[in-house]
Amino acid sequence: MKLDIVITSDRTMITNHHGKEFLGFVATGPPVGVPERLWMWICAPKPKVDRWGRPLEAPYGLRKIEAALVNAGFNAAIIDPDHLGPHLKHAKVLMIGHHDYFAMASPSIEWWLMTGSEPVNRRSFLRLMRRPEIREAKKRGLKIIAGGPAAWQWLWNLDYWREFGIDTVVDGEAEKVVVELAAKALNGEELPLYVYVGPEDVPSIEEIPEIKGASVNGLVEIMRGCPRGCKFCPVTLRPLRYYPLDKIERELRVNANAGLDRCILHSEDVLIYGARGLEPNPNALLKLHALAKKYCKTLAWSHATLAEVKYAQEKYKLITKLTELIYDEHQQYLGVQIGLETGSVNLAKKIMPAKAAPYPIEMWPQVVEDAMAIMHEHRIVPALTLILGLPEETEDDLAQTAELLDRLKDYRSLIVPMFFVPLGVLRDRGWFLREHLKEGHVEIMRRCLWHSLRWAEDIVSTFYLKGARYAPLRWTLKLFLAYVKRRAREVEKWLEEAGWEGVKRAEAKSAVLQPVPRPCRT
């Protein structure tokens, strides 16, 4: 099998995370308390591949690029990173994609700051790009095109851009531009260094190709874009587009034909699929989930919003109706990632005024708490993210967030604090750096840690890793959680004895918080 175009990524991306998508977040951290090989086994086991090294499951974004190229007549395929060698002897183009090339996004950057140790996703990617087979192919004239959600990170890492010989970086939805770039590369024409796909250049629904091979854990996109307009989010810059059910079904069928009996419905907010503005469309949502259950024993939502959970349930009892449709002998809970962002009404008004819609933004803390109660009652397990270091953040904002976290303690969830990264319409603002850390930030991080540790044990045992199949992984994670608890108690004791001023003095001497490279254009 001779390919003209090889598509790949590193091991933290080319894996199915044991069939448990949330374990992929473990790859954003450093190997804490265990050997890196064991850490990688937990989050990124090697996938099944065919005799040519094509993975059974591959990242959805790479599948879209593969489909666009194949539809255009190119001889292209996704190849597992451990099987690149034979293909790179003949290929003329290497395309790579990643969610977080250099551990600059959340939660990688938080792990790095707190532990002083480089996250494994960055380590893994750098190892990939320094492989002899890639370097040798590059000397023979191989063109390398990089893209994906983390394409923007190359602009802050020009030294690696030069070291790895990246010919082109594509930032944005690439389905329309990748065919032209591939043709130029194969014809030996000069390639642009950087291609930005703006909102006016994104593909229409008809121009978005359908995947031809199975996606990791059966992820299937149902829409693109988000109408809420949060200033920190790049997705809101893109136009809203809904996939019709027949297009979704064809991709569900691709995954089912590959033997996958699970799926993740992907959207920035699954509950506004087919919506009129932000008004839920119960009929569209019920049809969507009935379709998904036709092909999948279990399903999850990639993202939802707290306001939509509350409104959909209060007006239509839609959360009840959806979970009654989803839950059966194969599935008794539902996982989802949700943005909490802040507990401060004042800050919410400035950076996400439509986040609580159709409720007034002044109700944001109450919207959060009511939605959490609804999800807890319906066995929906959210991984909540909140942002520290937002522009114009004050001590009072931090205090309000800490107070809200106390009100959420009895709701089953994980809460992950993230540091502000300048994206979306706030892309010209400053990064949240180590020296910006305040006592209020540390207190929020502490509360998030203990909340998540408390509920993680319950989630792992009761919902996430049930059954003999997952026993080794379940016990490994329990041992890791016990280790984190012990270390957290030690740090808490040190903080209590040293006080905040003592912490800052120690930090200045690099006694606790180790240096993290600043984001900068080199």
Name the CATH superfamily housing domain 5-201.
Response regulator (3.40.50.2300)
pTM, entire model: 0.92
Position 101 pLDDT exceeds 90: yes
d(CA 432, CA 388): 8
Per-residue pLDDT tens for 267-305? Answer: 999 999 999 889 999 999 999 999 999 999 999 999 999
Across residues 101-106, what is the average pLDDT? 91
The vertex-216 CA angle with 246 and 193, nearest 5°, equals 95
Residue 461 is classified by DSSP as I
Per-residue pLDDT tens for 485-495? Answer: 787 787 677 66
Q: Which strand ranges, in their side-by-side order, compose the sheet holding 414-419?
A: 303-304, 334-341, 380-388, 414-419
Kindly state the tokens that stand for 440.
């209020």
Q: Of 246-260, 307-321, 467-481, where does mean pLDDT reach its minimum?
A: 467-481
d(CA 385, CA 202): 27
d(CA 27, CA 40): 7
Kindly state the tokens that stand for 422.
């300048």
Q: CB 327: neighbour CB atoms within 10 A? A: 15
Q: What is the mean pLDDT of the chain?
A: 91
Q: Domain 214-432: give its CATH architecture.
A: Alpha-Beta Horseshoe (3.80)
Position 187 pLDDT exceeds 70: yes
Q: What are phi and psi of 79, to 5 degrees?
A: -125, 135
pLDDT for position 516: 46
pLDDT for position 506: 58
d(CA 120, CA 36): 8
**The 3-state secondary structure of 480-502, one letter per residue:** HHHHHHHHHHHHHHHHHHHHHHH
Domain ranges of the chain: 5-201, 214-432
**The 3-state secondary structure of 103-131, one letter per residue:** CCCCCHHHHHHHHCCCCHHHHHHHHHHCC
